[in-house]
Chain A
Amino acid sequence: KQEVTQIPAALSVPEGENLVLNCSFTDSAIYNLQWFRQDPGKGLTSLLLIQSSQREQTSGRLNASLDKSSGRSTLYIAASQPGDSATYLCATSVLTSGTYKYIFGTGTRLKVLA
């Protein structure tokens, strides 16, 4: 059974710092991996989607990498800003009982201090 872990659970950094959020998963036979952002009381906003055949994806100040063999993905945020404060979740898509299912981590709660 796929398990997705995100460490740390919470992180505070000063504005302008580059930072890395980690996501690890136990079953490397994933179809894709998606990073999301969730603001308090809101739904999830998709940030980046990495297919299993890809190594990384970039969008603006965000870069996500994927290493299937080691069961890890990282989300790199460059020059962090207070507006980046949110909870970041990763989710992997795996084949379970004949159907694909997204398994989510519990998230990293990020606070960027002005």
Chain B
Amino acid sequence: EAGVVQSPRYKIIEKKQPVAFWCNPISGHNTLYWYLQNLGQGPELLIRYENEEAVDDSQLPKDRFSAERLKGVDSTLKIQPAELGDSAVYLCASSPGTGVHEQYFGPGTRLTVT
């Protein structure tokens, strides 16, 4: 069974440019998470989807970040415009069913903003 797939793996952009990350969760997993991980820190939740619905986006900086999960499968996280402080690893995770279940993580996208 394929794991969580993320692309790109690495991205370098100049500040004020837009960037988008893509995630394909494990087949059949209803819940999808986007996390941000700074160096030496644990992941911090940005947004959680149950099927197509964003059930927790309280930590998403909505002035520049947006996310969508069309058809309740793949998801895209966008930053526009990017700032220097957005440099981090963006992790996608999925879990079966809705509610609280074991999470499975993708390899992450390492973003560098120059």
Contact = CB atoms under 8 A, between A and B. Distances in A.
Contact of B42 (A4, A31, A93, A100): A4
A31 B91 contact: no
B45 A102 contact: yes
B72 interface: no
Given A101-B56, A107-B42, A43 B102 contact: no
Interface string A93-104: 100010111101
Interface in A42-98: 42-46, 49, 89, 91, 93, 97
Contacts of B43: 44, 89, 104
Interface of A: 4, 31-32, 34, 36, 41-46, 49, 89, 91, 93, 97, 99-102, 104-107
What are the 5 tightest A-B residue pairs by CB atom distance, in nearest-first order?
Answer: A104-B42, A43-B105, A44-B105, A100-B100, A43-B107
Interface of B: 4, 6, 33, 40-45, 48, 55-56, 58, 91, 93, 99-100, 102-108, 110
